[in-house]
Chain A
């Protein structure tokens, strides 16, 4: 029988597999077909892949059929069917990483590890290398993660160092899980806040936090080190904020802090405790620390002030609603959330409000779904409310999957209570008593925080039976995704919760009518729910005052790419693309020319610099050929090739197509074939017309949003940058990006320093000291190393 190469089952020796373990999983998770995904996830957690024996066992002892288990196991990309190397290297292929050379890093990694073309693991079985859609640390681009450790700003030249560094960490037993977030700070104490979102952790904030805590303890300082959610200023991580030391309420911010400087920062703001306290505190760390009054290295280079212009510009244009109290609250501190007005909106709803009134507020607020399509939220709720059914569901769609977009993850990690409160309000409004949060695979911190938050809310009577003592009850569960972008489509997401392959189906009927298990179901995106407490608490008008005629409120974007200040931003609707790029983002760095922004990721399109005055508004973006999408916003400069960008996104959607309908399954592949041809100089006469024709047909003839929007990146770049496509037809890449179409050469400025020869990974440059170097075009792999190492800028690309 045929078996997909990545599905070919390598039969493990039966004795390796502990079937009683499988039995216990099934006993814990249930025998119904809907348990298939969680069961497979549990098996994979144990064995790091899915042994066939284990899956056969599941079929024997549950209602899950062989057909279903293989169908599901082979659908989701997180499931592995081959044993994995000792360490898993995930190379980020998010948009920001792509434009900063992720492909070169990936190639270099495979080359250095000697991984065969048809394999993903080195011959010794130490490292398995996989591409991932996005690690969500775009400001560290290009980045990769080895087990839990993130390495950023990689070059093909430094990946080897990263591997060695990791093995060294492992040898010293320092690879630890860094997600723990105990919160035990004491009220009234000054706070030393440190961002602990996934991206902050990737940027090294866990180490900084440890150093801060050590410093606070040893110096016996009356302050609490407080982990907070994402600050949004990813370009400045790790960030430390000192609050509660100035009487005017202002705070001091330190950016890009190194663990070695933690002590200095603490000392600058706090007086060390008395000598006795210090002795007591530092007893174990030796007396030298206490007796010498050390003079710390000046730390001012890290200090930034909110009144500083760049920070001011970054924060000044933003409006925090979904991300209210950004960088100030401890994500899991329920008391703090309540103290600051949290759950007030839900209380108001369930104790005094009527569902119809809530729906009315949401309708009047003008809120439209933040998942991408922009359907009016209030109307959706009303539709679900109107259907008579004993059981209804609310679902939070947290299966964000666009490369380069991680707003939902940030919100789930940083404001878990706000999301839960929003969901509860929705459930109350539509008449649901059960709900699911579908969270994308690879968001462990988000899952952990939401799980903790649900537990804490249940204990407090904010979820579960009789919320606030009312008749309203709500039971929420978490469903972890298993790696399928298409599950962001609501009907596919529902199929996935039901334990099936995540295949979308024709709508209507919409989930509002027939959703999960055929019951009326309200599906909203994370951001949509997180806006809800604000709207209900402050009223529809408070929200609707932001934005344009048809697009109200704010939108969170992940700003990345060729921009000085990247990060997560929440801006009022109606702001122009230019204001985002130039004011908030600080423009394109390195003196390059701003070329375009890509908005909406693989479903969106490019807006050229000439149209940068386009407002962030559902209709304005759509008519410009982009979409609001879920919020990825990547800035491109003149070194970015638009054909390559289109190819990049189409490769993504093509890979993520569920494979159901012909237009999407085969059509996107044929479009990709053409783009591949163009990018390698094999374009044929008529290719652009075929591409355009196919694009329109795929758009019109696909069943779900994925297929209907997949051609957008191609269509919009064809529209605005057709000349670049034509150049590719003639075998030229004007941006100098497409490897097969460019040539590296050495100019007469060469001083013969041999640096390029030393670094060339394929010996395409011979060691000729003090002579002008030559590049062997046959050997050259266009990895760009020579260009980067040349001290006199004598490498030319054409």
Chain B
């Protein structure tokens, strides 16, 4: 009606101009059509369409800075890549976002940023731990006396921490950065302490389990691999039956480790928890070729966690072997038979119980994915950038956040509560404060970007902590300028600025003033919006500032 009125008043030509101006451009993204407001960007259109385009430097409500270039897309079949965040949608535009070519460009942008990133995502200890337990977080909880939280963190990765706390060869401690200064943190004993406290508490930690799904898995072997797998499968609502030819559960932990090192009561207590969670133990029941066939038929999945396997046994079970052990697809942990998995020493002989525990957990995830019909992808190792060699100067930066006392000597009975807090204070907290909120890391994981493809760390590790609320690590800055824009919007008298240009550009406070003067109002907002660990809230930082 209005249109007709306007048409009458202004005549046909005026109407046409009006109509063209207010037209909503139609574009396609990966062949999905959408019409958007005039002036909307490709990113706006993608959001409207539910197409996920990664961004780092884009800050809603601000004009795009087009710096990170991980939002690149291709337009109308051209070869060049344009940033979706700033490219205005034009009528008829055909956007390509979800293609190998575009993905590899985004991956390279991410890899360029990662290759120039100074800082570890997760601590070297966590990277090295075969079970990838979040050691720094455990230590943080212990230092705060949060024992329940500590055991939760441990058991998220290690189902048998009290046992391992006694026999683990401490791989994590061999890479502990604190060792460069004096001696590594006693990580293994800290874990043992947390686990012992938990067991002795009378009501040991029971993980939250999803309701039973009716799905069932058969686990052959009750050693560290099998127990660990059961522990995590049950949490997924999958019932587990554990078969073992021997009279008692525990496998190598019970029958190959001396009782002096690992007393039976410790092992029993940890197995009891798994039993209490609902695992059925079928002991004294050797699995033969025939029984395996039955299990394969009766259960939704079977896990071979039988430890080191002899070729004769493999032949009897009718499973394929490599030179070392059971042949599996390393991405799915599945053997040649659909639904039969293998993990632990059965695949690669190893005496490392912590490795078996880690494998058991990975197998549990693979099995759960298989049972629930999801694609299996074993990526157990947490993504991380690594600092590599560090200088004395950089070591000093780490040491500024840890106690200077030496490694606790202990009697063999584990750590006392006092020792525990001393040891916990020695941790350098190499991990990134933004580990759980880093967009760069999230996208790197999603795009399978490696920090080692195009390496060239050139920035040194620096930490600025003069500000009461935030910590600044320039080595993690990707020069996106979000913080500068936020500070400007907040009307900071000094604010932040880019200093220098090109590869050497840095973000800093004008006139080399301290951060506390640069950001009087907007610090928190800046830290929250920072897409990496360059600006982080102090409350996210687990080290203690001295």
Contact = CB atoms under 8 A, between A and B. Distances in A.
Nearest to A70: B510
Contacts of B487: 67
Contact of B456 (A74, A655, A669): A669
B268 interface: no
Interface stretch (B28-36, B64-72, B278-286, B359-367): B64-72
Contact of A654 (B88, B503, B514): B503
Contact of A700 (B105, B478, B496, B505): B105
Contact of B502 (A656, A697, A700): A656
A506 B86 contact: yes
A67 B497 contact: yes
A545 to B, nearest CB: 35
A505 B454 CA distance: 26
Contacts of B88: 508
Interface stretch (A6-14, A418-426, A516-524): A6-14
A601 B83 CA distance: 28
Interface in A651-675: 654-663, 665-670, 673
Contact of A1 (B68, B81, B87, B512): B512
Contacts of B462: 2
A773 B518 CA distance: 63
B112 A670 contact: yes
Contacts, number: 153
B108 A697 contact: yes
A7 B69 contact: no
A484 interface: yes
A666 B115 contact: yes
A2 B112 contact: no
Interface residues of A, number: 49
A71 interface: yes
A67 B499 contact: no
A663 to B, nearest CB: 6
B498 interface: yes
B470 to A, nearest CB: 13
Nearest to B454: A670
Given A666-B112, A667-B112, A700-B81, A67 B502 contact: no
Interface in B60-94: 64-70, 72, 79-83, 86-88
Given A505-B66, A657-B502, A1 B515 contact: yes
Contact of A662 (B68, B488, B506, B513): B68
Given A66-B495, A701-B109, A658 B69 contact: no
B496 A67 contact: yes
Given A67-B488, A662-B69, A701-B81, A657 B511 contact: no
Given A1-B512, A67-B484, A659 B501 contact: yes
B505 A665 contact: yes
Interface in A498-516: 501, 505-506, 508
Given A9-B512, A700-B105, A658 B502 contact: yes
A74 B500 CA distance: 5
A1 B508 contact: yes
Nearest to B464: A1
B514 A666 contact: no
Interface residues of B, number: 57
Interface string B107-118: 011001101100
With most chain A CB atoms within 10 A of its CB, the pick from B83, B495, B510 is B510
B500 A7 contact: yes
A743 interface: no
A231 interface: no
B115 A70 contact: no
A662 B478 CA distance: 8
A663 B115 contact: no
B503 A506 contact: no
Contact of B79 (A69, A690, A700): A700
A67 B105 contact: no
A680 interface: no
Contact of B499 (A4, A657, A660): A4
A657 B502 CA distance: 5
Nearest to A509: B88
B479 interface: yes
Given A506-B66, A694-B454, A669 B503 contact: yes
A751 interface: no
Contact of A673 (B113, B456, B502): B456
A4 B504 contact: yes
Contacts of A659: 479, 498, 500-505
Given A659-B500, A660-B66, A703-B66, 5 more contacts: A3-B506, A506-B82, A659-B505, A666-B112, A669-B458
Interface of A: 1-4, 6-9, 52, 55-56, 65-71, 74-75, 484, 501, 505-506, 508, 654-663, 665-670, 673, 690, 694, 697, 700-701, 703, 708
Interface of B: 64-70, 72, 79-83, 86-88, 105, 108-109, 112-113, 115-116, 454, 456, 458, 462, 464, 474, 478-479, 484, 487-488, 493-506, 508-515, 518
7 contacts: A2-B464, A7-B499, A56-B511, A67-B497, A657-B502, A659-B500, A670-B456
